Amino acid sequence: MRAVIPYKKAGAKSRLSPVLSLREREEFVELMLSSVLRALKAAGIEKIDIISPSIYGLEEVEAQVILDEADLNEALNAYLEKAKGPVLIIMADLPLLSASHIKEIVSSNKDICIVPGKGGGTNLIFLKNPSDFQVKYYGSSFLAHCAIAEAKALSFEVYDSLLASTDIDEPDDLVELLVHGKGPARDYINQKFNYEVSRGRVKLNPIE
């Protein structure tokens, strides 16, 4: 089985621009990718492909890099069409994901296991027969992927986990990393922010 990670470093995570500079965002996404790679390898998955429009930031990565300038859906669907065995599609911005999550996801007895992300997105999809499926990211991709599985009469389950479902896209997401995270990505953000505990939600505060 293989894991495939879509990744782009150049100009990454523009929605974090209110709190992180371009350089900081690019450094941060590299750390999150490293966290995902460590979790995969700790889960026993050694065959890892990274699909990226550029080699930028991937010069020394311990994975196979597939350069593809097509959009996310086109690149992934071309990859799935050629896949010879089970595939785990995993996003690169999941620093709270652990090896135990991955082991549980790939142990599913269904054709497909889908891990939802925030706001209707999809963070991971495990496909036992990848050539039978086509992804449809953007918008409410979680509902789209469930509908595609149903239309193709493929059995599927939803993996329910706060940590696996927390992708880091917006400033408020950094609170989850500070509260629940560990490792270099968390340490990086902890050098720049702390959080304020009040009677409402925990809030992010820059360290001056």
- Specify whether domain 2-165 bears CATH 3.90.550.10: yes
Domain extent listing, the chain: 2-165
What does the pLDDT read at residue 208? Answer: 73
pLDDT digits (tens, 9 = 90+) for 78-112: 999 999 999 999 999 999 999 999 999 999 999 99
DSSP secondary structure, 15-41, as one string: GGTTTS-HHHHHHHHHHHHHHHHHHHH
The secondary structure of 40-69 as a DSSP string is HHHTT---EEEEES--TT-TT-SSEEEE--
Ordered per-residue pLDDT tens for the chain, 208 residues = 999 999 999 999 999 999 999 999 999 999 999 999 999 999 999 999 999 999 999 999 999 999 999 999 999 999 999 999 999 999 999 999 999 999 999 999 999 999 999 999 999 999 999 999 999 999 899 999 999 999 999 999 999 999 999 999 999 999 999 999 999 999 999 999 988 887 777 888 898 7
Residue 155 in tokens: 């059995």
Interatomic CA distance for residues 64 and 181, integer angstroms:
27
Tokens 């709270």 sit at which residue?
96
What is the structure's pLDDT at 192? 95
Model confidence over 110-130: pLDDT tens digits?
999 999 999 999 999 999 999
Burial grade of 99 (CB within 10 A; 0-12, 13-18, 19 or more): middle
Q: Identify the pLDDT of residue 76.
A: 98
Q: CA-CA distance, 45 to 2, in Å (whole number)? A: 7
Predicted pLDDT at 152: 96
pLDDT at 195: 83
